[in-house]
């Protein structure tokens, strides 16, 4: 199982954005040294995040790391041009000498749609068409294609080409059955974002994915599942909870006001950090055991990424957590 970090490049409320990005790159270097397998950068177009141009951050990290894989988490493909997306990640692959990946999805926020001139009512149709074009570009250097939302391409060559023979593209999904089935039909690896509830409840959706892939003729080993989870690791569970809860409660109470969620309470948080809850917060031993329980409940996962940007943690807390995840959690899972 690969273990990694996903970051949304959170902007400290009263911080300096230049310093925040410098610290993020330092964390990416530290993840590389600590033995983590992958580091992903999200894409948002909001004041509280600095990840509106994720491939620039990933390229900067590529020049400062040597082994860790570099991915998006996720690329909001519905509001992007697939030609430019492919070119950006192919260039990243060349800079990193074959370490680039992307996770594509529709995004959990909607700011990108009006920003880039798209109608939110076309949410799913946009994504389907653009994913089709992106996959065709991956497979063909010269392409003829037409669709509804983009000018047609006639015998156009798309450069540069990546170093890897096939640039890895994962499909990032939330909780809609149609998204799981689409990933299975296309034979794409699946990245499931579980930010609340009980992780095992996603098993029927993952079964839909695997069955759709089987019916489409894809080999079982091609139908891999990753898990994107909110979490944090400290030397002890008590310390992890004390570090993580205040900022987590503040963040999700604030987002809840936008989305109609109730305020976060300590009782709800404790339920989420329990045996079956989605939050992966605790000591290295407790976190490793919970990851393995999640994997078993979902029929086996091949990747897990921690998302820690939601709790207002300090740079020092991030650095310590990354080292514990890379050296302690990873070791326990391998054992």
In this model, does residue 107 exceed pLDDT 90?
Answer: no
- Alpha helix ranges (H) inside 170-298: 177-186, 203-215, 237-259, 266-272, 284-297
Structural domains of the chain sorted by starting position, each given as residue range(s) with its CATH number in brackets: 2-334 (3.20.20.30)
Q: With bands split at pLDDT 50, 70 and 90, how would you rate the model's confidence at 274?
A: very high
Cβ partners under 8 Å of residue 77, min gap 6: 85, 104, 105, 106, 127, 130, 131, 134
Mean pLDDT of 212-223: 96
Q: What is the C-alpha separation between 72 and 103, in angstroms, rounded?
A: 5
Q: With bands split at pLDDT 50, 70 and 90, how would you rate the model's confidence at 15?
A: confident
Among 222, 154, 155, 135, which Cα is nearest to 184's? 222
Query: What tens digit of pLDDT does each residue of 123-175 get?
Result: 889 999 999 999 999 999 999 999 999 999 999 999 999 999 999 999 999 88
Mean pLDDT of 57-84: 97
Cβ partners under 8 Å of residue 283, min gap 6: 233, 234, 235, 236, 237, 240
Q: Are 68 and 28 in contact (CB under 8 A)?
A: yes
Among 226, 327, 242, which Cα is nearest to 282's? 242
pLDDT of residue 6: 98
């Amino acid at each position: 199982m690969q273990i990694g970090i996903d970051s949304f490049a959170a902007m400290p409320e009263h911080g300096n954005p230049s310093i925040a990005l410098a610290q993020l790159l330092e964390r990416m270097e530290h993840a590389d040294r600590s033995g983590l397998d992958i580091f992903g950068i999200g894409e948002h177009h909001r004041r509280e995040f600095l990840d509106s141009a994720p491939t620039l951050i990933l390229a900067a990290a590529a020049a400062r790391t040597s082994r860790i894989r570099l991915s998006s988490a996720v690329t909001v493909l519905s509001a992007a041009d697939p030609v430019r997306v492919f070119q950006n990640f192919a260039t990243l692959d060349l800079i990193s000498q074959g370490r680039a990946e992307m996770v594509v999805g529709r995004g959990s926020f909607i700011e990108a749609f009006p920003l880039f001139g798209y109608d939110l009512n076309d949410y799913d149709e946009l994504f389907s068409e653009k994913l089709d074009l992106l996959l065709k570009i991956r497979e063909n250097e010269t392409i003829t294609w037409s669709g509804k939302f983009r000018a047609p391409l006639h015998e156009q060559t798309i450069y540069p080409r990546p170093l890897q023979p096939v640039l890895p593209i994962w499909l990032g999904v939330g909780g809609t059955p149609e998204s799981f089935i689409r990933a299975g039909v296309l034979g794409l690896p699946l990245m499931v974002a579980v930010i609340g509830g009980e992780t095992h409840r996603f098993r029927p959706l993952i079964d839909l994915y695997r069955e759709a892939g089987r019916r489409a003729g894809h080999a079982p080993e091609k139908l891999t599942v990753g898990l994107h989870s909110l979490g944090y690791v400290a030397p002890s569970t008590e310390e992890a909870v004390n570090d993580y809860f205040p900022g987590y409660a503040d963040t999700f109470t604030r987002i809840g006001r936008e989305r109609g969620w109730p305020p976060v309470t300590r009782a709800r948080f404790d339920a989420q950090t329990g045996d079956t809850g989605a939050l992966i917060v605790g000591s290295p031993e407790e976190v490793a055991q919970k990851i393995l329980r999640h994997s078993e409940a979902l029929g086996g996962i091949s990747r897990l990424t921690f998302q820690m940007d939601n709790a207002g943690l300090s740079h020092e807390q991030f650095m310590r957590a990354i080292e514990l995840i890379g050296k302690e959690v990873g070791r326990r899972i391998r054992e």
